[in-house]
Copies of this chain bind each other. A is one copy, B any other.
Amino acid sequence: MGIAEDKVLTNLRKGVLEFCLLALLRDGEWYGLDIARRLSEQGLLAGEGTVYPLLSRLRRSGLVTTEWSESDVGRPRRYYTLTDLGRENLRAFSEVWGPFRRTVDTILETKP
């Protein structure tokens, strides 16, 4: 009975994942699978397949730009770059995240 442990993390990821992805792109360009691996390492992503729909959405929203790797030895990769709009959205999220996190902390820390 009760609530499954996995579900907890799954629901926490919602609303955070896409901005953590944007934050990753602050540091440089990455391609899909690499982004997926990095996010998975930090427990923010369950499977690699999850990241592609997200990346498509970010691209359609104009938060990231893509560029195919030309004249590369391996498989062609699609590299993602943060746009100014993406950078602004990331900053906006940070301002929402701070108070939100503090609110939750306060409620949880109240002594029984």
Binding site for B on A (CB under 8 A): 1-3, 5, 8-16, 18-20, 23-24, 26-27, 42-44, 61-63, 85, 88-89, 92-94, 96-97, 99-101, 103-105, 107-108, 110, 112
Contact = CB atoms under 8 A, between A and B. Distances in A.
Name A's interface SS. Answer: helix
5 contacts: A1-B61, A8-B96, A20-B107, A27-B110, A101-B101
A27 B24 CA distance: 40
A104 B20 contact: yes
B2 A89 contact: yes
Contacts of A24: 107
Contacts of A92: 5, 8
